[in-house]
Amino acid sequence: MDSKEKVQNEDLQKIKNYLQNSKKNIERMKIGKKPRRKFKFIIKENKFLFTLVLIIIVTTPLLTIILNRNPLATSPYKDAITNTMETFESNFTAVSGLPVHEVISENTSSELIILSTLANSILIESGLFSKKDNLMKRISFIFEIIVDDSFRDYNNKTQKLPVFNQFLGIYALYQAFYVLEDTAFAFSFTNISRIVNTMITDFLYYSTWPNLFAVSEDTSTSYLVDQALALSVLTTHMFLTGEQKVFGWDLKEITGGMLSRIENRFYISASQSFFHKYDTVTHVSSGISTSADLMFTSLGLSRTEKFSSGYAFPLSSYNLHQKVINELIDSNWLVHEVDKIDDSIQIKDQAFFTMVSYLLNLQNVGLEIENSTSTFLYSEDGFVNSLQNPIVTAESCMYGLITMSSKNWAKIQNEREYAPEPRPTPTGTGTETESPVPSASFSFVGVISAIVVIVALSRMSMKYKTRKKFGDQAEI
């Protein structure tokens, strides 16, 4: 046997050993254990760690002193958050919406699945809570209710959820995506885009084309709040993916169209106020807008102000936000539904208004609402539903958590929302705008550069090489 052959055989032996070990490792991994790894590789990879351990051993006395100091409080509401989370986890095993202390039976609803996915995700993102297991549970639920790219009723999967929950569902998916990026691949932006595509075809172009109106299936009433949330989600989608088009739909055009519809059908320019709903059959607008209508409209407007949609809405997001504060928020910073003096104080409105305020970079308002919520709507068990009917439910817990984590989370969310192009000229409405991202024209080069910017967020688009016909023939 010459030396070369010998070496080869040794190599072969090594390979066979590796194969044998891999077999055992696969068996280990199948039952959830880690594979056995050669020690030399572990040391090689963790040289730094080994050195560190040495240093730690040497400096232990010093470290004990440091470690014994109280950890920094990240939120004044840490206790409220921990208690609420505990209440939620111990009382609502599945996603039931029942109040605490009542019999626990399975009462799962899609609304709650979406809400708790959203709340859990932004809570983790805000850095105030780190365990992800609970969110993982939510995720398996949320997959159960997505059928053919739209959100369905948990108990009757043929039934689509109303349009508001569809869009809230998408928003929850983004947040879960960012939190679970490495573990839950199923939330690729491509998958989310598919749902967005379904929303546009099923809910916006639902009746005659081009309707650009968010109307739930089988109904003829369209609500302002639905238009507003749809507007917010579609623009946010554009910012997060850096893509102006979803499955051929031009989001900027849709945004412009929606703004125009909102103005025509909901806006009363004389009083700078809004209608609550619009009948798509009789073409009659009616109802007084609620705080939810207005705050979501304000959010939607704020997103469209980041770029040019080709349609200028007569009211700025900032002014509308101010209007909510003036007309619907009392001296205790509690959000009323239609009038500063009505007696409907709901945690839901508190939560969404905190969220919107922070997303609009209005920190002071956010802080006040956060404060009032913990003062008036928090009991020892967790957050309560409303001031009039103060019971702790799964739902109220989730809204409480959204309120508490909005501040840290909105900062992150705002940072990752890149507008596809800078706003042409600031209209001087007083909104604190974020610095615009350099313009990227949506030529191929544009797409690539936009992609470089958002590569951390989305997967890249790629085309199968298209070939020229005659080129093929020439080669054959």
Partner 1 sequence: MKTISVHSYKGGTGKTTFLLNLAGLLAQEGKKVLAMDYDLRAPSFQSYFSTNNLVSLSNYLLEDTPISKIIFPCQVNDEIHLDIVFSSMEFLQQHSKQRDKLSRDDSKYLSKLFNLQKLISKTYDYLLIDTIPGFFYRSIDALMVSNIILVVANPSISNILGLEELSGNIYSMLSKETKMVLLINKIEEEGIQADKTIFEENLSKLKKIGDQMFTHTLEVPFFNMLSERIYAFEKDTNKEFLDVITKLSKIIRE
Q: Closest separation between CB of residue 144 and partner 1, Å? A: 12
Nearest CB to partner 1, comparing residues 246 and 295: 246
Residue 14 CB, shortest distance to partner 1, in Å, is 6
Minimum distance of partner 1 from residue 29's CB (angstroms) = 5
CB within 8 Å of 226: residues ≥ 6 apart: 162, 163, 164, 167, 214, 215, 216
CA angle 171-177-183, nearest 5°?
155
Q: Count other C-beta atoms under 10 Å from residue 412's C-beta.
A: 15
d(CA 338, CA 274): 12
Provide the 3-class DSSP secondary structure of residue 393: strand
Give the span between the Cα atoms of 249 and 236, in whole angstroms: 15
What residues between 151 and 170 interact with partner 1 by CB under 8 A?
none
- Could you tell me where the DSSP H helices lie in 31-46? 39-45
Q: What whole-number distance in Å separates Cα of residue 276 and Cα of residue 298?
A: 14
Distance CA 127, CA 122 (A): 9
414 vs 449, beta carbon nearer partner 1: 449
Nearer to partner 1, 183 or 375 (CB): 183
Q: Are 161 and 149 in contact (CB under 8 A)?
A: no
* Among positions 46, 155, 190, 388, the unique one binding partner 1 when judged by CB under 8 A: 190
Task: Give the residue with the Cβ less far from partner 1, 52 or 448.
Answer: 448
| Contacting range for partner 1; rule: CB under 8 A; set: 6-14, 257-265, 376-384, 418-426 | 6-14
- Smallest distance, partner 1 to C-beta of residue 24, A: 10
Nearer to partner 1, 63 or 445 (CB): 445
Nearest 5°: the CA angle 318, 321, 327 is 140
Q: Are 375 and 404 in contact (CB under 8 A)?
A: no
CA-nearest of 227, 204, 229, 233 to 217 is 204
- Of 94, 104, 136, 184, the one binding partner 1 (CB under 8 A) is 184
Rounded CA separation 80/230 (Å): 32
**C-beta closer to partner 1: residue 11 or 86:** 11
Per-residue string for binding with partner 1, 233-262, x by CB under 8 A?
--------------x---------------
Nearest distance in Å: CB 469, partner 1 = 7
Q: At closest approach, how far in Å is the CB of 9 from partner 1?
A: 10
Q: How many CB atoms lie within 10 A of CB 58?
A: 10
Task: Closer to partner 1 by CB, 71 or 471: give it.
Answer: 471
Beta bridge partners of 290: none
- Closest contact distance (angstroms) between CB of 252 and partner 1 is 20
Dihedral of alpha carbons 119, 243, 447, 471, sign: positive
Nearer to partner 1, 13 or 427 (CB): 13
Contact stretch for partner 1 (CB under 8 A) within 182-190, 202-210, 371-379, 394-402:
182-190
Residues 339 and 349: beta-carbon distance below 8 Å = no
Q: Scan residues 13-72 and list those touching partner 1 (CB under 8 A).
A: 14-23, 25-26, 29, 34-38, 41
Provide CB contacts within 8 A for 428, sequence distance 6+.
none
In this structure, are residues 398 and 390 in contact, taking their beta carbons and an 8 Å threshold? no
* Residue 245 CB, nearest approach to partner 1 (Å): 11
Phi, psi of 268 (to 5 degrees): -110, 105
* Smallest separation, CB 41 to partner 1 (Å): 5
**Which residue, 50 or 247, has its beta carbon nearer to partner 1?**
247
> Going residue by residue from 432 to 471, which x/- string records binding to partner 1, judged by CB under 8 A?
----------------x---x--xx--xxxxxxx-x-x--
**Cis peptide bond upstream of 210, omega within 30:** yes
Shorter beta-carbon distance to partner 1: residue 69 or 467: 467
Q: 209 or 464: whose CB is closer to partner 1?
A: 464
111 to 150: interface string for partner 1, x by CB under 8 A: ----------------------------------------
Q: Is 476 in the site for partner 1 (CB under 8 A)?
A: yes
Question: What is the enclosing helix (H) or strand (E) of 151?
Answer: strand 150-151
What minimum distance in Å lies between the beta carbon of 22 and partner 1?
5
Please give the size of the binding site for partner 1, defined by CB under 8 A. 47
Q: How far apart are CA 172 and CA 382, in angstroms?
A: 22
Cα 287 from Cα 289, distance rounded (Å)? 6
Nearer to partner 1, 94 or 186 (CB): 186
Smallest distance from partner 1 to CB 286, Å = 39
Amino acid (one-letter) located at 172: A
What distances in angstroms separate CA 76 from CA 73, 335, 378, 405, one per listed residue? 7, 21, 14, 11
Residues that bind partner 1 (CB under 8 A): 11-12, 14-23, 25-26, 29, 34-38, 41, 181-188, 190, 247, 448, 452, 455-456, 459-465, 467, 469, 472, 475-476
